[in-house]
Chain A
Amino acid sequence: MQRLIDRAKELLASGEVARVLGWKKGDLGFNPEPSYFETAESLDNDFVYDGFCGANLSKYMIEASKKDGKTLVFLKPCDTYSFNQLIKEHRVDREKAYIIGVGCKGKLDIEAIKAMGVKGILEVSGADINSDCETLTVKTLYGDKEVSYNDAMLERCHVCKGKEHQICDEVMLDSRDTKDAERFAEIEKIEAMSPMEKFEFFKKELSKCIRCNACRNVCPACSCRKCVFDSNKFDEATKANVDSFEEKMFHIIRAFHVAGRCTDCGECSRVCPQGIPLHLFNRKFIKDIDTFYGEFQAGEDSETKGPLTAFTFDDVEPSIVTERG
């Protein structure tokens, strides 16, 4: 981590960058926040990069692109997909970014640790980026607990797309392979359900939604300046649900809007206060796009047209819907 701070200080001092976009230490040891650093002092005091820095900083680059000078941004491998996609959509300015691709050993989910029955967490050691990432020692108000690092990882790290940075100016720190599950396994399980089972599954999950918009606001693909759901012409659908399942409309429409552009960064599921596995929607779309148009990963580069924005004569016909049943 010190290497990152030193490099950032170097780039600030040389004038190469005007500010640094990274993560700032939280007050509980596991709640860091995205932050801009403009001085060496603030980097020394507050910068952190550890297992809890799951937040994807690429969307913050939309605002940073409007500022004077370059912004040094630290992107994890999966974050770089989002950044590429944002370049493709003309939302960020590549010239305004100095990207340090940081290594990733899998990001942790404090909610996963809590779900193991660990209460009153005061400190988590073993989350340091230099650690071997095998065991976390959790100091709590009610005694110390040991937790396997992998068991405490975010869902997205178990189906990691790989530790290669898709875009960056330099790479720092080592990564660790964390993939131990098939990306589409959960989707296949749902596909195997009967229509009624599917409906029940999503109804149960989505009726937990409180319409806080965290999933939308964190999503790098949701970069519209004004969201259709904030329109007053769409009255009944914005803040409240007329029935307990009306959220389906919000989430299904959102999934359609990001289809072909969603990189599967997993931020939606990470931030949902109710633990709704929102990534399942997007991943189903990704799987279908792969099936119909050939394998495609949004954000792999910043130029290729996505299959839903490029017309070819080989495209599937709409009738595929009826054929699939």
Chain B
Amino acid sequence: MYKINKENLSALFSCIADANELYVPCNINGSVNFAAWDEEQLVDLDTLKTVKSPKDAFFPQSETLYSCKRNGKKLSITPEELQNKDFVVFGMKACDVRGLAVLDKVFLVDPVDSYYKARREHGIIVSLACSQPEEACFCNVFGIDASQPEGDVVVYMIGDEMYWNAVTEKGEKLTKQVASLLTDADEAKVEAQKASIKEIVSRLPYSSLSLEGWGKDAVLLDKFNSPIWEELYKPCLACGTCTFVCPTCQCYDIKDYNTGNGVQRYRCWDSCMYSDFTMMAHGNNRTSQMQRYRQRFMHKLVYFPQNNDGMYSCVGCGRCVDKCPIGLNIVKVIKAFEKGGNR
């Protein structure tokens, strides 16, 4: 365990950025999101949750897959270069890191997604324990410990100091790189903070949310056919806010951008909430917003767990709770079914 005075954080970032790309939560015109660090950036480690989850450091909102050029009848294809430099994402929370474990289940299973894999291999995660969890947090419901996030290095903000604990080989390597800025520390204060975080978590309004009836043992068709969906979806605006701020949503679209001198085929985040998501030339298999709404939650709480040994595709970060324009969210879904007898 090491520590560093918060006054030296800028020096630490500068030192990390010397050898790696560095992403940290920054306040840009009033909204806090992960962004490439430079000295001009307004780093904000106090805001608990960035608006967007940091998933786009690994699965960008938009990325070119390859380029195509046509020459008469001939076509040539040039794959986009993969991530080949190490980069550091600093300040991911426990829920965000677990979000990547969910994405891994999608992108790292056969056939492996090269683009995502390259970023996972080169990404170094410095996670930050949540000293002040907030009302919409319910990561504990998914077995996530906000006081002890996963990651390559785990840091704790305590008073004027930041405590630094490398937990993986990648983390050790990064620690060596910044060693001159760190001093040895004992674990007493960190242990005290961990206890404090656990105590706060136990008082969170959603901390005792029950997942009974969901997950890999859920009776899929009963849940699917429940009349409760018809009650729940009605106010839904069919926007993509919940999907785009979510750390685990991974649906994507593949599209073409005509550069005028060829075609860039890129992929971008898509939302199952959008009416054209399942649209094809001969029709659409989900024509109503109820069906689309149901799909999102059934996928997170039933389909995904059934395909992945019970792992939910939700990490309880609460971003959808905070950001839904009209106050809908996954917690309300879980509660409505609980009230309805978990059918």
Bound together, the chains give a CA A200 to CA B270 distance in angstroms of: 29
Given contacts A26-B327, A235-B256, A239-B255, contact A230 B132 (CB under 8 A): no
Which residue in B241, B253, B321, B327 is a CB contact (below 8 Å) of A32? B327
Interface of B is mostly: loop
Given contacts A214-B325, A230-B276, contact A239 B270 (CB under 8 A): yes
Please classify how large the interface on chain B is, using the bins under 10, 10 to 19, 20 to 34, 35 or more: 35 or more
Chain A 239-274 interface 0/1 with B at a Cβ cutoff of 8 Å (1 = within):
111100000000000000000000000000011011
Given contacts A27-B335, A119-B134, A205-B29, contact A141 B51 (CB under 8 A): no
Given contacts A31-B321, A204-B28, A230-B275, contact A236 B326 (CB under 8 A): no
Q: Which residue of B lies closest to A140 (CB)?
A: B135
Bound together, the chains give a CA A196 to CA B310 distance in angstroms of: 54
Query: B129-160: which residues lie under 8 A (CB-CB) from chain A?
Result: 132-136
B61, CB-defined interface residue at 8 Å: yes
Bound together, the chains give a CA A213 to CA B329 distance in angstroms of: 17
Question: Cβ of B31 and Cβ of A274 under 8 Å apart?
Answer: yes
Question: Cβ of B257 and Cβ of A242 under 8 Å apart?
Answer: yes
Chain A residues contacting B328 (CB-CB under 8 Å) are 33
A186 vs chain B, min Cβ distance (A): 14
Chain A residues contacting B321 (CB-CB under 8 Å) are 28, 31
Which residue in A28, A208, A230, A238 is a CB contact (below 8 Å) of B31? A208
Bound together, the chains give a CA A212 to CA B281 distance in angstroms of: 24
Which residue in B235, B253, B323 is a CB contact (below 8 Å) of A239? B253
Question: Cβ of A27 and Cβ of B331 under 8 Å apart?
Answer: yes
A181, CB-defined interface residue at 8 Å: no
A35, CB-defined interface residue at 8 Å: yes
Chain B residues contacting A218 (CB-CB under 8 Å) are 237, 239, 325-326
Chain B residues contacting A213 (CB-CB under 8 Å) are 239-240, 274
A60, CB-defined interface residue at 8 Å: yes
B266, CB-defined interface residue at 8 Å: yes
A147 vs chain B, min Cβ distance (A): 16
Choose the segment among B13-21, B119-127, B200-208 that binds chain A (4+ C-beta atoms closer than 8 Å).
B200-208
Chain B 236-269 interface 0/1 with A at a Cβ cutoff of 8 Å (1 = within):
0111110111000000010111100000001011
Chain B 208-239 interface 0/1 with A at a Cβ cutoff of 8 Å (1 = within):
00000000000000000000000000110111
Bound together, the chains give a CA A240 to CA B63 distance in angstroms of: 9
Question: Cβ of B134 and Cβ of A28 under 8 Å apart?
Answer: no
Given contacts A34-B326, A141-B203, contact A240 B239 (CB under 8 A): no
A36, CB-defined interface residue at 8 Å: yes
Chain B residues contacting A214 (CB-CB under 8 Å) are 237, 239-241, 325
Which residue in A26, A121, A240 is a CB contact (below 8 Å) of B62? A240
A1, CB-defined interface residue at 8 Å: no
B176, CB-defined interface residue at 8 Å: no
B52, CB-defined interface residue at 8 Å: yes
Given contacts A119-B48, A230-B275, A235-B255, contact A35 B132 (CB under 8 A): no
Bound together, the chains give a CA A271 to CA B28 distance in angstroms of: 18
Which residue in B48, B133, B237, B332 is a CB contact (below 8 Å) of A27? B332
Bound together, the chains give a CA A242 to CA B332 distance in angstroms of: 35
Question: Cβ of B327 and Cβ of A122 under 8 Å apart?
Answer: no
Bound together, the chains give a CA A33 to CA B335 distance in angstroms of: 15
Bound together, the chains give a CA A205 to CA B29 distance in angstroms of: 7
Q: Which residue of B lies closest to A59 (CB)?
A: B237
Question: Cβ of A212 and Cβ of B134 under 8 Å apart?
Answer: no
Chain B residues contacting A193 (CB-CB under 8 Å) are none
Question: Cβ of B135 and Cβ of A34 under 8 Å apart?
Answer: no
Chain B 265-295 interface 0/1 with A at a Cβ cutoff of 8 Å (1 = within):
0101111001110000000000000000000
Question: Cβ of A208 and Cβ of B29 under 8 Å apart?
Answer: yes
Bound together, the chains give a CA A116 to CA B87 distance in angstroms of: 33
Bound together, the chains give a CA A235 to CA B275 distance in angstroms of: 15
B111, CB-defined interface residue at 8 Å: no
Chain B residues contacting A239 (CB-CB under 8 Å) are 253, 255, 268-270, 274
Interface positions of A (Cβ within 8 A of B)? 26-28, 31-36, 55, 60, 115, 119-122, 140-142, 204-205, 208, 210-214, 216-218, 230, 232, 235-236, 238-242, 270-271, 273-275
26 pairs, CB–CB < 8 Å, chain A vs chain B:
A27-B335, A55-B326, A119-B132, A120-B200, A141-B132, A141-B133, A141-B134, A141-B135, A204-B28, A205-B29, A208-B29, A211-B240, A212-B239, A212-B240, A212-B244, A212-B245, A218-B237, A218-B325, A218-B326, A235-B257, A240-B269, A241-B61, A242-B257, A271-B239, A271-B241, A271-B326
> Given A208-B33, A242-B257, 11 more contacts at CB 8 Å?
A31-B321, A33-B328, A55-B327, A205-B29, A210-B51, A212-B243, A214-B237, A217-B239, A218-B237, A241-B62, A275-B29
